[in-house]
Amino acid sequence: MFQGLLNRRKPERAARVEPVIAAAPATSGTRDPSGGVFNLGFGSGQSRVRTLPRVSGLIAQRHATVFACANNIAGDHSKVPLKMYQRDGEGGETRVRDHPATYLMNVEASPGVSARVLRFALVYAFCIRGRGHGYSPRDGGGELELIEAINPDHVSMFKAGRSRVFGFEDGAGIQRRVPARSMVNLRYMPEDGWTGRSPIEVAGESFGLALAGQEAAARTASGTTMRAVIKMEDTYEDDEAYSRNAKRIRNALTDPDSEGFPIIGANDDIDFPDITAADQELLASRKFDREQIAAVYRMPPSKLQMLEYGVKANGEQQAIDYLTDCLMHWSSLIEAEYAMGLLTEAERRSGLFFRHDFGALLQATTKEKYDALTKAVGGPIMTANTAQRIANLPITAGADDNQLNPASNMTRDPSNKED
């Protein structure tokens, strides 16, 4: 009996099965980002249509219209003087010439770098990437030492409460972390007040269509698509003979010495397919891409040589429209950020501010200039010496050259020396 008990088989241990725990939906926008996050136009540049190319500022600048818009805006901001003024509290403004920022922003920004190069780099990055950074350190006395353009792709921004700290590598190869008061931070359309967004990435789908059309046109022009259909004989001694004949015909098509007359066999034929209606529509749509890109940058068509619609205004009116519709939009943001990065709080409170002198873009002809000066000197608003300074002429020392003329219905009392 006991032997039977000892020989009884023990029951097999059941395998342990862990309960299945359903994973909670991921709430992290970094590990598992929701598609809606990037559909807001915050800067991904990727369309929901996955076949469209991913758009970024560096990629989109290959499009000639994008480059022309950014080049025009940055070039016109860098070629005009950036002047500093101070408000006097009574509605007047006084030109400030001896501030360190006026020299750094108009002559030499940093050792070996002109101010125009710096300003072009800042504004160009501002237009393409929506962000432009310039390192502006100060010495022990609080005076500006230099202004150095930093590649926006190499700048990291950290939060310290409501303040921001920027990490980057300066021109000397030194890793730095500086507060916002030591950085010119140009930013376009920031939703949080700090993080700028590129207009290219916000309108990424439209720019993606423009880039896709350009790439398709480039493939067509380069001949990577089908350029011709070759018909050859079906009977050959072997595959090597077939390949040799095909290569001979292909070389005859691409040989520049053939002068358009390829030599082929008696039973060979070449058919050149014409461009299809779809290809014609694709090429025509690229004109619409130019209009959309110009609208994003508020660029008048005349500045992009888009004259197919006709120009109703003269050149002077076109320049005025370009100034008021395009440049003033960008310059108001740029001037404000220059003031935040290059002026202290005390200087801003005292009324100091920057302004681009766009009058250089509206220069009059020699005849118009002299006619205006002649009329001004003949009245009670400008002396002859003032007009000579404006015209860069030698200053004369006549008795009446530095006196205002009275109005036409008044006479001057010779005994009064103050007239």
Q: What is the pLDDT of residue 188?
A: 95
Residue 155 pLDDT > 90, yes or no? yes
Q: Which of the residue ranges 61-65, 183-187, 415-419 has the most confident prediction, judged by mean pLDDT? A: 183-187
**Which is higher by pLDDT, 43 or 416?**
416
CA R_g for the chain: 35
pLDDT band at 298 (very low <50, low <70, confident <90, very high): very high
Residue type at position 178: V
Mean pLDDT of 242-257: 73
Q: What is the pLDDT of residue 377?
A: 83
pLDDT band at 183 (very low <50, low <70, confident <90, very high): very high
Q: What is the pLDDT of residue 370?
A: 79
Which tens digits make up the pLDDT trace of 356-382? 999 877 777 777 777 888 888 877 778
Which tens digits make up the pLDDT trace of 94-137? 999 999 999 999 999 999 999 999 999 999 999 999 999 999 99
Q: What is the pLDDT of residue 346?
A: 93
Residue 26 pLDDT > 50, yes or no? no
Backbone φ and ψ for 213, nearest 5 degrees, come out as: -65, -40
306 exposed, middle or buried (CB, 10 Å; 0-12, 13-18, 19+)?
middle
Q: What is the pLDDT of residue 167?
A: 95
pLDDT band at 403 (very low <50, low <70, confident <90, very high): confident
- Cβ atoms of 196 and 186 within 8 Å: the answer is yes
Residue 56 pLDDT > 60, yes or no? yes
Residue type at position 171: G
Which CA distances in Å does 320 have to 303, 316, 323? 12, 6, 5
Q: What is the pLDDT of residue 17?
A: 47
- Cβ atoms of 348 and 359 within 8 Å: the answer is no
Please enumerate in sequence order all residues whose Cβ is within 8 A of that of 382, keeping only pairs 6 or more positions apart, or say none.
Answer: 373, 376, 404
pLDDT band at 22 (very low <50, low <70, confident <90, very high): very low
Mode of pairing for the β-strands spanning 108-110 and 148-150: unpaired
Structure tokens that stand for 163 in this block: 């303040």
Please enumerate in sequence order all residues whose Cβ is within 8 A of that of 107, keeping only pairs 6 or more positions apart, or say none.
Answer: 114, 115
**Which is higher by pLDDT, 273 or 339?**
339
Mode of pairing for the β-strands spanning 108-110 and 229-231: unpaired
Residue 50 pLDDT > 50, yes or no? yes
Residue 343 pLDDT > 60, yes or no? yes
Range name among 29-33, 99-103, 199-203, 292-296 with the lowest pLDDT average? 29-33
Q: Is the pTM of this model over 0.85?
A: no
Task: Provide the CB-side half-sphere exposure for 56 (13 A, CA).
Answer: 6
pLDDT band at 149 (very low <50, low <70, confident <90, very high): very high
- Nearest Cα to 165, choosing from 150, 183, 148? 183
